A and B are shown apart, each in its own frame.
Chain A
Amino acid sequence: SQTIHQWPATLVQPVGSPLSLECTVEGTSNPNLYWYRQAAGRGLQLLFYSVGIGQISSEVPQNLSASRPQDRQFILSSKKLLLSDSGFYLCAWSRGARASNQPQHFGDGTRLSIL
């Protein structure tokens, strides 16, 4: 069976510090991978998605970046965090190629607080 791991579960970081959130998927190959952010009281916002190794699409301009160094690994990074980066970050995967016809499977999320 497929599983998705996301860590850490919670993170408190000072403004201006770097960030690295990691997500790995097991039990499937060549998944579509997604990073979402959910600000308090708001809906899910797609940040990045990837259909393959090294292929990253960005949805919104921001100081975050994503990388996919391996087929089932997706990393969300920042060189310098802003207060506005606080939120709940979720990684998800779905089977390729037509994601619309496939359910998305979510990680447990990372609650990021910027001080």
Chain B
Amino acid sequence: KNEVEQSPQNLTAQEGEFITINCSYSVGISALHWLQQHPGGGIVSLFMLSSGKKKHGRLIATINIQEKHSSLHITASHPRDSAVYICAAPNTGNQFYFGTGTSLTVIP
């Protein structure tokens, strides 16, 4: 079993739809990270959160530490949101466990 599980693996949405990507982890963590990998391969860090909710533009990330579960929401999705979204949970050292990613395609 992977330390970090994401669902769904693939997601196709119509432009404007509300999108939810889920992440469950089995390790104890101090903060969970959400990353976005663009079609060209580059990765950017979206959120790092240890409790509650964070919002950045149309992106919202939530975490429930007790249930070891986090969600990434995208409101009013747009084709430029098409990317792979990766959840990452750090271990007690300087390393991370990564989910396999959710490939999102937003159709105009």
Contacts and interface: CB of A to CB of B under 8 A. Distances in A.
B76 interface: no
Contacts of B42: 106-109
Interface in A23-58: 32, 42-46, 49, 51
Interface residues of B, number: 26
Contacts, number: 66
- The contact size tier of chain A is 20 to 34
B48 A49 contact: no
Contacts of A46: 95-96
B12 interface: no
B101 A101 contact: no
Contact of A101 (B31, B35, B91): B31
Given A43-B86, A49-B95, A99-B90, A104 B45 contact: yes
B43 A99 contact: no
Interface string B76-108: 000000000010101111111011110000000
Contacts of B26: none
Contacts of B31: 100-101
Interface of B: 29-31, 33, 35, 40-45, 48, 50, 86, 88, 90-96, 98-101
14 contacts: A42-B100, A43-B98, A45-B98, A59-B95, A99-B94, A100-B30, A100-B31, A101-B48, A103-B33, A104-B35, A104-B88, A106-B43, A107-B42, A108-B40
